[in-house]
Amino acid sequence: METMDVAVLGATGTVGQKFITLLEGHPYFRVRELVASPQSAGKPYAQVCKWKQDRPVPEEIANMVVKSTEDELESALLFSGLDSQVAGEVERAYAEQGHLVVSNSKNHRMDPDVPLVIPEINHDHLALIEGQPYAGAIVTNPNCSTIFLAMALAPLHRAFGLEAVSVTTLQAISGAGYPGVPGMDIMGNVVPYIGGEEEKLETESLKILGELQEGRIVPAPLSVSAQCTRVPVIDGHTETISVKLSRPAGLDQVRQVLDEFRGAPQQRQLPSAPQRPILVLDAPDRPQPARDIWLEHGMATIVGRLRECAVLDYRMVVLGHNTVRGAAGASILNAETMVSEGYIVDGRLVKQPARSGQKQVVGSCC
């Protein structure tokens, strides 16, 4: 396909910067517009961005003049890393103008007509955009911790059913953005509270694992109990998970189901898709953030310490890169999936692909 021009919303923030690094040289998408707050508008990106990535700002990006969220955009596809304080209204406005907004922000995740997508699990939920009232559309990916929880649960839910889940997260400080958590609060410490995180894990996972029925999502019928903590790790969210299965299964069966899990991104060999979306490690002291988050280029969910649980049925330790698969990488993979599903054709948004009826090309900007 011909490379498509895209814009990054919230381009100066942590997730916006990760979008820029992951989109450099992408075969489908090319960054043509950068959007940030009005205070940054009209200035070169390198001048207003406190760059915190492990490689330099791409030269063509560094010299690009930043636009405001109040500006009209030419790009059809917008990747949003906007702060939640402004994302809801801004994303809705752009969708009303005919843009496709693929968002990492929390604001629209639980809207009944907005798909909350992990392509390996529920790419069929993209059909929700056909009923959205906008000239364009909004598609979201889950919270950074929810993604790894749902990835670990989905194969088990399909194979054996799930009744109950208990999860405790150990979340990296990069998940708080920049400047994030003050050093004196986090160094040598564990903070046992992250506002709103537990609710996201307990509700978003049910929507993701739910079924699309007659244009709405029926949440998965299971209970999730979450506790969230912030730990002094730079990148990589760790989760300890215990599950109660609906049907009996042996440990070897559980391991095999996790290890063999694949989805649409792997079948279609999408550019950002990990070859193995779930990696099961057998070493007794893995996974570890310092050693394992870059497996599969940061796009995999790493499972270790899989064993029986004395309270529920099985327990495990799960790890994922929170700013790659847990944020920007998830949005990019969602957009790639929309290309493969026919929702993006020749740089245009198609709200009703041929597979579901007559094509409806929408939005003059698209």
Catalytic residues, by residue number, are: 144, 237
**Nearest alpha carbon to residue 118 among 129, 134, 108, 104:** 104
Task: Tell me the C-alpha distance between 53 and 224, whole Å.
Answer: 34
Question: For 98, left (φ over 0), alpha (ψ -120 to 50), or beta?
Answer: left
Question: 């790419």: which residue's tokens?
Answer: 123
**Nearest alpha carbon to residue 8 among 93, 102, 92:** 102
Q: Looking at 194-242, list the stretches that DSSP marks H as alpha helix, in order from N- to C-terminal side.
A: 197-208
Q: Which two tokens stand for residue 279?
A: 């990696």
Cis peptide before 287 (omega within 30 of 0): yes
Degrees to nearest 5, angle at CA 113 with 220 and 211: 25
DSSP 195: T
Phi, psi torsion values for 30, nearest 5 degrees: -135, 125
**Nearest alpha carbon to residue 16 among 331, 350, 238:** 331
In 3-state terms, the chain is what percent helix, strand and coil (to 5)? Answer: 35, 25, 40
Task: Tell me the C-alpha distance between 6 and 254, whole Å.
Answer: 41
What DSSP element (H or E) covers 344?
strand 344-345
Task: Tell me the C-alpha distance between 226 and 209, whole Å.
Answer: 16
b/e sequence 24-36, b meaning 16+ C-beta within 10 Å: eebebbbbbbbbb
